[in-house]
Amino acid sequence: MSQYTARAHTNIALLKYWGKTDTNLIIPTTTSISLTLNEFYTDTTVWFDEQLTADDITLNNVSLQGRGYEKVTRFMDLVRDRANQHQFVHVHSINHVPTAAGLASSASAFAALAGAASAAAGLSLEPADLSRLARRGSGSASRSIFGGFAQWDRGHDDQTSVAHALTETVDWPIQLLTLIVNDQPKKIDSRGGMQNARANSPFYQQWVDMANAQVPAMQAAINNHDLVALGTLAEANALQMHAQNMVANPPFTYLTDVSWLIIETVKALRATGIPVYATMDAGPNVKLISQPADTEKIMVALRKVLPEIQVTVATPGPGIQIVQGDR
């Protein structure tokens, strides 16, 4: 049996996915748009083994247990059914997404797993099919199949809910500064949070209508290399997503005082003419959409209010790569 390794990079949603119409197939309520990041990725190696009596799954060389294990075996069952290959499997993943970076590793993890597992099972999947498969592990993983800017069309079933590249090569100055507010695992995971907002926010339908209507403007901003339009829209979309959580019954939020302090600092920087915009996912960490030439000025302003803040720079990254190994 062949062994395959896949490398997939994380992505940051500029227009977010926050809620599903189908929790089993993972069909989202909105179309989302993301930027794949070069600095953060997962390498996953997969091979089937008739000697095994259960799946062997490791993450960063540690055997995975509990919910994480269940998620991966359930995902592998999809691959096994599809390939009519019923052996157990070795899945060895190395995450180059520091948990402390505040970026979701599930996107790169399930994209890499989809790539390596389907290849090891003898399925030769086109990128769109790989995206559909990755979606079943984690919605945002559907976008990590592609480099640069990617769009996940919400669709209405397994076939139509799929991501595609908008522009794979990003040859204009855009970067993401990731600021570490808190590196502890979150209390409410994205799966729970988004379903809570969907079920309990009185404005949920407004979010769906508004977010879907933002898609053409985001596409135009990307086509025009317009950082101001892109950032303005991404920040608005992120705040609209977080507003759903705050008005849910009972209300909840991922954002902390420090998150808000950063958002205020970003606004003050913009008032001085620097194009910098905040976006936040299912956690308190804030990511700043900006241009490399402004990094120093942004850091100086941030350090004035948060002297200890840790910052990493992320730039546009490539789509999934699959390599065959020898066994």
Query: Could you list the residues that contact ligand PMV (CB under 6 A)?
Result: 13, 16-17, 32, 104, 106, 138-140, 190-191, 281-282
Shortest spacing between CB 213 and ligand PMV, in angstroms: 17
CB neighbour burial string for 59-71, b if at least 16 within 10 angstroms, e if fewer: beeeebeeeebeb
Shortest spacing between CB 33 and ligand PMV, in angstroms: 9
Single-letter amino acid, residue 82: R
Shortest spacing between CB 234 and ligand PMV, in angstroms: 11
Nearer to ligand PMV, 3 or 11 (CB): 11
Nearer to ligand PMV, 16 or 154 (CB): 16
Nearer to ligand PMV, 57 or 134 (CB): 134
Nearer to ligand PMV, 26 or 301 (CB): 26
**Cα–Cα distance between 26 and 38 in angstroms, integer?**
26
Q: Tokens 């996953």, residue?
A: 44
**Cα–Cα distance between 10 and 140 in angstroms, integer?**
9
Shortest spacing between CB 181 and ligand PMV, in angstroms: 15
Nearer to ligand PMV, 190 or 265 (CB): 190
Q: Give the helix/strand (H/E) hosting 63.
A: strand 62-63
69: tokens are 């294990």
Shortest spacing between CB 136 and ligand PMV, in angstroms: 11
As a whole number of angstroms, the longest Cα–Cα distance in the chain is 64
Neighbouring C-beta atoms of residue 310, cutoff 10 Å: 15
314: tokens are 């992320």
